[in-house]
């Protein structure tokens, strides 16, 4: 299997050629947005935790280093706790262009926007000169996620994505699954797939730490969103056992770490990985992007209409009603499984074909609609200490 991608420095391959206009903190978000406005190929992003939230820096650096990003323009106010120079140093290690607009140094927002548009336009023009080349599927990293789940998610969409996961891993690609909350109650089948005892203990910690977080009063473990309940799911365990179907059946090679000072990237060599992180969709996808994921395949029974700034999202639904109502937003119809018209394996193969097509340049429906969500999750370090959750994995 092959796809057409963009050659990047450091022997990496991208499936998109995005120029990020990154506001270091939310105070410069309007300027970043105006710099990118109307400029095809430029996407503005920010984080909403203020300018002294140093623990968000690894995610910001990680998404800028993602192979889908051709270049990054940082937008700084000038007095932030998060200073741009360390970010520039880390991003530049990937051999891609990176620059900064400092509003206070330039002297006005208007002049900073003008300067920023010149810099961003130069990066976009360079990115447009790049041409796609054929690469083996082993160079691809695919994330899997689900949200707005209902009973059809565990019966159709997630199993079909699981077939895709197995096919891609067998072909040499890497697949990553995040959201440990949707593994609570499914510890045994996941741990049984660990390649060794060390990884088994990582999986149990990954799930156990998340279970601790949901012991806080008001956030008990049996929490499910309204859409899950209205969609027919009854317990978190039922939801989890349906959710893990998207992981397929191949051995789990490790849990990608995600701490206040480190987001682990997917190692070369392919295989299936779990990733520590959140279940909140756009933030989870930012974590996956920071780990090097190219494309996210997303199962939704109720229907999800968001996208992501870095990773194209392929949406799969197994619900016939959702497909009927929201086919303009859903990329793959897996409801044919529920209707008895198609096998899980057949739909899984269609998902693989769609992944390769999107990797080669086909725009997802979310991209066509201009949906480029982005957010960064931040855990409360005080709560982690109180719950006895450590960042020591090995």
Given a cut of 70, whether residue 91 has pLDDT beyond it is: yes
Domain 18-129 matching CATH 3.40.50: the answer reads yes
pLDDT for 163 equals 96
pLDDT for 352 equals 98
Given a cut of 80, whether residue 103 has pLDDT beyond it is: yes
Chain segment 245-271, per-residue pLDDT in tens: 899 999 999 999 988 888 999 999 999
pLDDT for 230 equals 61
Chain segment 229-240, per-residue pLDDT in tens: 565 655 666 566
Which of these ranges, 84-93, 236-245, 307-316, has the smallest mean pLDDT?
A: 236-245
**Model confidence band, residue 305 (pLDDT cutoffs 50, 70, 90):** confident
Q: What is the mean pLDDT of residues 347-364?
A: 98
Yes or no: say if 76 and 70 are a contact pair by the CB < 8 Å rule.
Answer: no
Given a cut of 80, whether residue 223 has pLDDT beyond it is: no
pLDDT for 384 equals 84
Tokens of 106: 């330039």
Closest CA to 351 of 179, 175, 138, 91: 175
pTM (2 decimals)?
Answer: 0.93
**What residue spans define the domains of the chain?**
18-129, 135-368
Given a cut of 70, whether residue 367 has pLDDT beyond it is: yes
Given a cut of 70, whether residue 225 has pLDDT beyond it is: no
Q: What is the mean pLDDT of residues 126-137?
A: 97
Q: What is the mean pLDDT of residues 14-27?
A: 97
**Model confidence band, residue 228 (pLDDT cutoffs 50, 70, 90):** low
Given a cut of 70, whether residue 341 has pLDDT beyond it is: yes
Q: What is the mean pLDDT of residues 2-31?
A: 96
Chain segment 151-162, per-residue pLDDT in tens: 888 889 999 999
Backbone angles phi, psi at 350, to 5 degrees: -65, -35
**Model confidence band, residue 220 (pLDDT cutoffs 50, 70, 90):** low
pLDDT for 303 equals 84
Measured CA to CA, the distance from residue 311 to residue 31 in angstroms comes to 23
Which of these ranges, 17-26, 66-75, 134-143, 208-217, has the smallest mean pLDDT?
A: 208-217
Which of these ranges, 125-134, 161-170, 296-305, 384-393, has the smallest mean pLDDT?
A: 384-393
Beta 133-136 vs 2-8: how paired, if at all? Answer: antiparallel
pLDDT for 370 equals 93
Q: What is the mean pLDDT of residues 116-142?
A: 97
% residues pLDDT > 70 (the chain):
93
pLDDT for 245 equals 82
Given a cut of 80, whether residue 217 has pLDDT beyond it is: no
Give me the half-sphere count of Cα atoms (radius 13 Å) on the Cβ side of residue 18: 27
Top pLDDT among 386 and 337 is at 337
Chain segment 189-202, per-residue pLDDT in tens: 999 999 999 999 99
pLDDT for 179 equals 83
Top pLDDT among 66 and 181 is at 66
Rounded-to-10 torsion of CA 315, 321, 325, 329 = 0
Measured CA to CA, the distance from residue 293 to residue 276 in angstroms comes to 14
């Amino acid at each position: 299997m092959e796809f057409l991608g963009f050659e990047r420095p450091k022997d990496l391959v991208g499936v998109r050629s995005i120029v990020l206009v990154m506001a270091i903190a939310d105070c410069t978000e309007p300027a970043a947005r105006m710099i990118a406005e109307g400029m095809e190929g430029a996407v503005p992003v920010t984080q909403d935790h203020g300018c002294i939230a140093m623990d968000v820096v690894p995610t910001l650096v990680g998404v800028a280093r993602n192979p889908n990003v051709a270049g990054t323009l940082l937008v700084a106010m000038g007095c932030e706790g998060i200073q741009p120079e360390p970010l520039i140093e880390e991003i530049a290690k990937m051999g891609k262009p990176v620059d900064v607009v400092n509003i206070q140094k330039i002297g006005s927002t208007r002049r900073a926007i003008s300067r920023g548009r010149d810099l961003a336009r130069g990066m976009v023009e360079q990115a447009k000169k790049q041409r796609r080349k054929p690469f083996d599927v082993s160079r691809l990293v695919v994330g899997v996620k689900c949200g707005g789940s209902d009973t059809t998610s565990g019966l159709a969409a997630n199993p079909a994505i699981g077939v895709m996961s197995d096919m891609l891993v067998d072909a040499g690609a890497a697949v990553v699954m995040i959201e440990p909350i949707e593994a609570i109650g499914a510890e045994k089948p996941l741990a049984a797939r660990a390649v060794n005892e060390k990884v088994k203990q990582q999986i149990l910690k990954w799930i156990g730490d998340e279970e601790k977080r949901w012991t806080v009063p008001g956030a008990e473990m049996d929490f499910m969103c309204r859409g899950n309940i209205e969609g027919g799911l009854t317990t978190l365990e039922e939801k989890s056992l349906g959710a893990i179907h998207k992981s397929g059946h191949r051995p789990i090679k490790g849990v990608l770490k995600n701490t206040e000072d480190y987001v682990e990237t997917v190692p070369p060599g392919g295989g299936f990985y779990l990733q520590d992180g959140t279940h909140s969709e756009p933030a989870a996808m930012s974590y996956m992007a920071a780990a090097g994921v190219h494309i996210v395949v997303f199962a939704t029974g109720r229907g999800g209409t968001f996208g992501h700034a870095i990773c194209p999202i392929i949406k799969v639904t197994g619900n016939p009603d959702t497909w009927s109502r929201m086919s303009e937003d859903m990329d793959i119809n897996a409801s044919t499984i529920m209707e008895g018209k198609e096998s899980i394996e057949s739909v899984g193969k269609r998902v693989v074909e769609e992944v390769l097509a999107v990797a080669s340049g086909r725009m997802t429906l979310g991209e066509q609609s201009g949906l480029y969500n982005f957010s960064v999750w931040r855990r409360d370090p005080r709560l982690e200490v109180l719950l006895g959750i450590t960042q020591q994995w090995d």
